[in-house]
Amino acid sequence: MTHELVIDASLMGSMARFINHSCDPNCVTEKWNVGSELRMGIFAAKKILKGEEVTYNYQFQSFGEIKERCMCGSKNCTGNFDGVALEGQPVTSTA
């Protein structure tokens, strides 16, 4: 969320912790100040059909050399969660 504040739902969190990443997501995240606290909200970016998986782009920042591989299958998949195509890695397309 900021350089000093991160969200880590690996041990506990709301139902939002189960939302998967997509390089072509149907939701976006927004930071909101609520009182004196910074909150993260997830909002629909396009019409979401009943039964459709809710996704957003993690824009994940890796702290190590190893990047998590994305297999979302979208036409514009970058192959990882930070939105930057891996060097030497083709942009996959299974759609």
Residues that bind Zn ion (CB under 5 A): 23, 70, 72, 77
How near is the Cβ of 78 to Zn ion at its closest, in Å? 6
- Cβ closer to Zn ion: 18 or 32? 18
CA distance 70 to 47: 23
State residue 27 phi and psi, 5-degree precision: -135, 160
15 backbone φψ class: left, alpha, beta (φ>0; ψ -120 to 50): alpha
How near is the Cβ of 95 to Zn ion at its closest, in Å? 11
How near is the Cβ of 59 to Zn ion at its closest, in Å? 12
